[in-house]
Chain A
Amino acid sequence: MSVLCLLSTQLHAQEVPQEPVVQAPPKNLIDLNEGVSFEIAPHTGLMGSSGTFGLKLSMNYSAFTLELAGEQVIGRTANLYPISVNALLNLSTRGQLIPYGTVGGGLLLTVPTNTIGDQTVSTLGVNFGGGARYYITKTFGFRVEGKQYVTSVSNDRESKNELLFFQEISVGVTFMLH
């Protein structure tokens, strides 16, 4: 009985709504002109019909951002690991929303997962695209990005190189370190 009384008191107490205090963000939440800042951005998405996971490490300096990116693209018979260095041009340096264009290059490692005897294949590739970051606080925001990857692989049967194109769409979060 005493337990029921305690529970009823508890439930009654919850009828009073307890709204958390949410402060309106300042006008210039982010100002990339204030100096060098760093970002860590985990993300997920799709490349073709395969799911991706990745992490981007960035250094911001005004309208320019230098980025190191690593990803895992989960395929049915192999995983692809694009590792790239990218340059971003921020189309805005102040406010909550920062759109950008990006171009970069790096290695694409194809690692077979369930085939015997196949080895890792590494190719050079370039990528370009664009996206946007939307900051909720001075240290946290969301990020969306679309990219086109281009790489060349050698076709041993026909003794020639083939250009391959991959499209990627990703969403994620970003943590800014001032």
Chain B
Amino acid sequence: MTHRYLLYITIVVSMAFTAQESARAQLRYENSLSLSAGAYAASGFGTNHFVGVRYNYFFLGGRYFVEGSLGFGSLRSRVLENVAKSQVFSSERLYAYEFVFAYDAFPSGFLPFFAFGVAGLNQGGESTFAGVLGLGKRIPLAGFLGTNQLGVRYDIRDQIFSQRINDSDPYIAHNLVFTFGLQFYF
């Protein structure tokens, strides 16, 4: 167990060092594509796997960027399945597309970037418009596989929307998205 923690610390410290060296080099790239995977915590349903793809366009020295993303997950709830024996939506399929604007004050530092925008959620066939708040960090991988065009990133997003289930009174729901991804700059 101790060895595992040492390995994690070594990886984090190594990534922090490589970030400083290659962040400047990557400022010249204007675009990136990312593949991300993680967890999607749907309010009232529980947490399931989530995968997605993100496109970023960077401007003004990489301190600002816009992002469009599409992700897929599930609304499976073991509580509803096993205890309530019911299903809220006609299917468990979930997909979300986001359009956000982000400010990265320290592209080559430790502090994360902040993002806000909007999202379209499709929960079991029903569409919802949501506001999005979030943060994340881009960590370049200098010289990894002989290129400066690769990096990793993490993202945390809060999708805020008005939820109404089975004619209940509407309430404000927060769906939380945690992802970790591989980023390709071009």
A interface residue numbers (CB < 8 A to B): 3, 6-7, 10-11, 13-14, 18-22, 42, 44, 50-51, 53, 72, 74-76, 79, 113-114, 136-137, 140, 172-173, 175
**B10 to chain A: which residues have CB within 8 Å?**
3
The 0/1 profile, CB within 8 Å of A marked 1, for residues 116-132 of chain B is 01101000011111000
List B residues 58-77 near A (Cβ within 8 Å): 59-63, 66, 68
B interface residue numbers (CB < 8 A to A): 9-10, 13, 16-17, 20, 24, 27, 30, 57, 59-63, 66, 68, 97, 99, 106-110, 117-118, 120, 125-129, 164
**Interchain CB contact under 8 A, B68 and A20:** no
> How far is B24's CA from A11's CA once the two chains are assembled, in angstroms?
17
**A173 to chain B: which residues have CB within 8 Å?**
57, 66
Q: For chains A and B in complex, what number of residue pairs have CB atoms within 8 angstroms?
A: 67
Partner of A114, one of B13, B20, B59, B126: B126
**Interchain CB contact under 8 A, A136 and B60:** yes
**Interchain CB contact under 8 A, A6 and B118:** no
**A140 to chain B: which residues have CB within 8 Å?**
30, 57, 59
Within the complex, what minimum Cβ distance (angstroms) separates B135 from chain A?
A: 18
Within the complex, what minimum Cβ distance (angstroms) separates A49 from chain B?
A: 10
Known: A7-B16, A50-B129, A51-B129. 9 other contacts (CB 8 A): A3-B10, A14-B109, A21-B61, A22-B60, A42-B99, A53-B118, A113-B125, A114-B126, A173-B57
Q: Is the interface of A mostly helix, strand, loop or mixed?
A: mixed
> How far is B4's CA from A89's CA once the two chains are assembled, in angstroms?
63
Q: A10-B20, A53-B97 are in contact. Are A175 and B57 (CB under 8 A)?
A: yes
> How far is B126's CA from A14's CA once the two chains are assembled, in angstroms?
47
**Interchain CB contact under 8 A, A137 and B59:** yes
**Interchain CB contact under 8 A, B125 and A114:** yes
Within the complex, what minimum Cβ distance (angstroms) separates B93 from chain A?
A: 13
**Interchain CB contact under 8 A, B16 and A10:** yes
> How far is B113's CA from A26's CA once the two chains are assembled, in angstroms?
29
Within the complex, what minimum Cβ distance (angstroms) separates A7 from chain B?
A: 7
Q: A10-B20, A74-B120, A79-B127 are in contact. Are A20 and B62 (CB under 8 A)?
A: yes
Q: A42-B68, A74-B120, A74-B128 are in contact. Are A6 and B17 (CB under 8 A)?
A: yes
> How far is B11's CA from A6's CA once the two chains are assembled, in angstroms?
13
> How far is B3's CA from A107's CA once the two chains are assembled, in angstroms?
63
**B24 to chain A: which residues have CB within 8 Å?**
18
> How far is B63's CA from A21's CA once the two chains are assembled, in angstroms?
11
**Interchain CB contact under 8 A, A3 and B62:** no
**Interchain CB contact under 8 A, B120 and A51:** yes
Q: A3-B13, A173-B66 are in contact. Are A20 and B61 (CB under 8 A)?
A: yes
**B61 to chain A: which residues have CB within 8 Å?**
19-22
24 sampled A-B residue pairs with Cβ under 8 A: A3-B13, A6-B17, A10-B17, A10-B20, A14-B20, A14-B110, A18-B24, A19-B61, A20-B62, A20-B63, A22-B60, A22-B61, A42-B99, A44-B118, A50-B129, A53-B118, A74-B129, A76-B164, A113-B125, A137-B59, A140-B57, A172-B99, A173-B57, A173-B66
**Interchain CB contact under 8 A, A3 and B9:** yes
**Interchain CB contact under 8 A, B17 and A44:** no
Q: A79-B127, A113-B127, A173-B66 are in contact. Are A44 and B20 (CB under 8 A)?
A: no
**Interchain CB contact under 8 A, A53 and B16:** no
**B164 to chain A: which residues have CB within 8 Å?**
76
> How far is B107's CA from A174's CA once the two chains are assembled, in angstroms?
24
